[in-house]
Amino acid sequence: MSAFQGPQPDPAAIGRLAKAPFALLPDPAALFRRRAERFEVLAAGSDLAPYLRFLAGLCARQHAIAAALPPAPPLPEARLERARAAAMPLLDRQAMADAPGLPALVAQVLEAMGDLAMPPPAAEALAALRLAEPAERAAMCRNVLADSIPTDALPEHLFLSAALQIEAARQAAALDPARLVPVGTGLCPVCGGPPLASCVTGRPGAEGARYAACGFCGTDWNEVRIKCLACGSTKGIGYRAPEDEAATIKAETCDACRSWVKILYQDRNPALDPLADDVGSLGLDLLMQGTEYRRAGFDPFLIGY
């Protein structure tokens, strides 16, 4: 008899079938660079070009700062284990507000935005922010961290969101994706934030799986398809898009809680970026305002729809 020993057969792992990874952590520099590039592409020929160009510049500055930052130090083991055991998000947003390095990062971001072309209301808000007392800025950072943006100070909070996104993505990037656990329907497993949109991915090995995108820390996490990201219902889910268009961005509506979240079909258009294309598809938001559904996706650059 032959002494040849081939690989042991594993009937559970046939072909190329692989389970889609639960979470995709951001690479901060790449995340902001991709957004900036996508905003530039979307700006060409769009009615929304002035805002898209402004955000392209903002993301390019986020990229420059994120690329120069050192990696975040690892979080204490005890805290990670406690969060994981209780199925809580791994990043503590409260702790982020009190982080000693945050005021300097915010100041750096506000400084970097100085040469960005913007309309007077935005420029005035930026100037006011740069002159604001540290305590005042810290209070506004807490609003951003709580995802509760006061509608009478949207521009100030938009700039601070841009700064905090850098820190959140940096901290998320330092985590071990294998330690992430689902913390609840429509909640980011890294920072606990709501999704800004979700994407049906074309990633090799995960084709057709859906990933919700966090607008705060840039993490993408797997969510079952045909499910409301606001309430978790799988009944009464529909998809709306403008007629006569091979739409790759649709509104996923839920008849149970009457809310909707954008879904982007990256399997049909790999160029789609959840944050940039969320702003770029403002027309869908305006059309959805005439329906019985309310927007549940949270995008710090697109508030009020």
Residues lying near other proteins in the complex (CB under 8 A): 15, 17-20, 47-51, 54, 118-122, 125, 151-152, 154-155, 158, 206-210, 224-226, 236-244, 250-251, 255, 282-284, 286-288, 291, 301-305
CB of 204 to other proteins, least distance (A): 12
What whole-number distance in Å separates Cα of residue 140 and Cα of residue 16? 49
What whole-number distance in Å separates Cα of residue 126 and Cα of residue 105? 15
CB of 30 to other proteins, least distance (A): 24
134/305 with CB nearer other proteins: 305
Q: Which residue has the tokens 């902001």?
A: 32
Q: Around Cβ 303, how many Cβ atoms within 10 Å?
A: 14
CB of 245 to other proteins, least distance (A): 9
Phi, psi of 232 (to 5 degrees): 85, 0
- Degrees, nearest 5: CA angle 65-69-71: 140
Angle between helix 49-68 and helix 28-43 axes, rounded to 10 deg? 160
Task: Name the residue type at position 258.
Answer: R
Long-range contacts of 286-290 (CB under 8 A, 24+ apart): 287/240, 287/242, 288/240, 288/251, 288/260
CB of 50 to other proteins, least distance (A): 5
CB of 121 to other proteins, least distance (A): 4
CB of 57 to other proteins, least distance (A): 13
Nearest to 34 by CA among 1, 79, 67: 67
Q: Around Cβ 285, how many Cβ atoms within 10 Å?
A: 19
Long-range contacts of 56-59 (CB under 8 A, 24+ apart): 57/116, 57/117, 58/113, 58/116, 58/162, 59/32, 59/33, 59/35, 59/276
